C-alpha cells in the first residue's frame, strides 16, 4: 500500500551528494517529495522557484555558506516571506554551536550520520508544526479582513451620523407614511438612518436587500439592526416588524394569532 504524499516538500541541502541521496530516497519512500541542493546558491534558487517547499534540512558546514547563513538567505529570499521549518544536520558535537543555531531559528537538529527513523519522526513533527502555523496565519488573515470590513462599516456609520446632525430637528422620516403604523414613543430615539433601516426590516427585506437599497454594506446594515434592537429594547426582527406594522394588516394578524 503506497503512502499518502505530503503536501509539504522537503529541501535537502548538503555538499555531500551521497548524504542527500540516501536521505532523499528514504523520505520519498515515506511520502515526502524532496528537492536536493548541494550548496546555498542552489538551495535559494530551488526555494524561490518552488512554493511547496516548507521543510528545509541542511548541513551546518558547507563550502559556500554555513547553515545559519543559508537560513538567513531563505528568510530574505521572497518579497512576501513564507513560513518554513528548518532542521540542522551536523557532524559537530559542539553544543554551543547547536544551541546558537536553535536560537537563530532552527527547529531541531540531528548529528550525522542521522538515524533515519529518528529523522523521519523529526520531519513529521516539524511538518505538523508548519501546517498549524499556516492555519493560524490563514485565520489571522480572515480576522484582519473582517476587521477591515467592520472599519469600513463604522466609517459609513460616522458619515451617516454627521449627516443626521446637519438635518433639521423636524424629521419627516418619523412621520408614518400612509398605511404605516403610528410610531411607538420608543422609536423617537432613533436616528433617521436607523429608522429607515427599521422600516425596511418591517417590510420583510433581508440585510442584503436593505444594503442594496440604501447603498451601504451588508455589515453596516447588521450594525444598524443591532443598534435599533438595543435602543428599542426588542429581542428580534419579528418584534421590530410587528411594532412598525399596522394592527389591521394581515402580517400583524398572522404573527399575533393564537
Residue 171 and residue 125 share a domain: no
Asked if residue 88 is part of any domain, the answer here is: yes
- What pLDDT, on the 0 to 100 scale, is given for residue 168? 41
Task: Read off the pLDDT band of 11 (50, 70, 90).
Answer: very high
Domain that holds residue 114: 9-140
Residues 50 and 113 in one domain: yes
Percent of all residues in the chain with a pLDDT value above 90, rounded to a whole number: 3
CA distance 68 to 170: 72
CATH number of the domain bearing residue 97: 3.40.50.2300
3-state secondary structure of 252: helix
Strands of 39-146, DSSP E: 53-59, 85-90, 108-111
One domain for residues 17 and 91: yes
Residue 233: half-sphere exposure toward Cβ, Cα within 13 Å: 5
How many domains does one find in the chain? 2
Q: Is residue 67 part of a domain?
A: yes
Is it the case that residue 247 has pLDDT exceeding 80?
no
Which of the listed ranges 20-34, 69-83, 227-241 does the model predict with the highest average pLDDT?
20-34
What would the mean pLDDT of 155-173 be, rounded to a whole number?
Answer: 56
Residue 178 falls inside a structural domain: yes
Calpha distance 202→206 (Å, rounded): 10
How high is the pLDDT of residue 2?
54
The grid coordinates of residue 48 equal 524561490
Q: Is residue 52 part of a domain?
A: yes
Same domain, 61 and 126: yes
Which pLDDT value is given to residue 251? 47
Per-residue pLDDT band for 246 (boundaries 50, 70, 90) equals low
Q: Domain containing 206 — which CATH number?
A: 1.10.10.10
Statement to judge: residues 16 and 123 lie in one domain: yes
Question: For a pLDDT cut of 70, what percent of the chain falls above it?
Answer: 78
What confidence category does residue 173 fall into, taking pLDDT thresholds of 50, 70 and 90? Answer: very low
Q: Quick check: 224 pLDDT over 70?
A: yes
129 and 54 in a single domain? The answer is: yes
Last residue of a domain, one of 124, 140, 156: 140
150 in a structural domain: no
| Residue-wise pLDDT tens digits, 119-142 | 898 899 888 888 888 788 777 777
Give the pLDDT of residue 195.
84
Alpha-carbon distances, residue 210 vs 16, 184, 195 (angstroms): 67, 22, 12
216 and 97 in a common domain: no
Give the per-residue pLDDT at 10. 92
- Mean pLDDT of the region 211-231: 86
The arithmetic mean of pLDDT across residues 50-63, rounded, is 85
Amino acid at each position: 500500500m503506497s503512502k499518502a504524499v505530503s503536501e509539504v516538500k522537503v529541501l535537502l541541502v548538503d555538499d555531500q551528494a551521497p548524504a542527500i541521496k540516501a536521505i532523499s530516497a528514504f523520505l520519498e519512500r515515506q511520502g515526502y517529495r524532496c528537492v536536493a541542493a548541494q550548496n546555498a546558491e542552489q538551495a535559494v534558487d530551488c526555494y524561490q522557484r518552488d512554493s511547496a517547499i516548507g521543510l528545509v534540512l541542511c548541513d551546518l558546514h558547507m563550502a559556500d555558506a554555513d547553515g545559519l547563513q543559508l537560513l538567513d538567505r531563505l528568510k530574505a529570499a521572497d518579497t512576501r516571506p513564507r513560513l518554513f521549518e528548518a532542521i540542522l544536520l551536523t557532524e559537530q558535537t559542539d553544543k554551543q554551536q547547536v544551541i546558537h543555531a536553535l536560537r537563530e531559528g532552527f527547529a531541531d537538529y540531528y548529528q550525522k550520520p542521522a538515524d533515519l527513523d529518528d529523522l523521519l519522526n523529526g520531519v513529521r513533527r516539524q511538518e505538523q508544526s508548519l501546517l498549524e502555523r499556516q492555519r493560524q496565519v490563514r485565520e489571522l488573515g480572515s480576522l484582519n479582513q473582517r476587521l477591515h470590513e467592520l472599519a469600513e462599516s463604522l466609517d459609513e456609520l460616522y458619515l451617516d451620523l454627521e449627516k443626521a446632525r446637519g438635518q433639521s430637528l423636524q424629521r419627516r422620516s418619523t412621520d408614518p407614511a400612509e398605511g404605516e403604523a403610528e410610531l411607538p414613543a420608543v422609536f423617537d430615539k432613533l436616528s433617521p438612518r436607523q429608522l429607515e433601516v427599521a422600516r425596511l426590516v418591517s417590510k420583510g427585506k433581508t440585510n442584503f436587500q436593505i444594503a442594496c437599497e440604501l447603498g451601504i454594506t451588508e455589515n453596516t446594515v447588521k450594525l444598524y439592526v443591532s443598534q435599533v434592537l438595543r435602543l428599542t429594547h426588542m429581542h428580534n426582527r419579528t418584534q421590530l416588524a410587528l411594532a412598525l406594522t399596522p394592527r389591521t394588516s394581515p402580517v400583524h394578524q398572522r404573527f399575533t394569532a393564537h
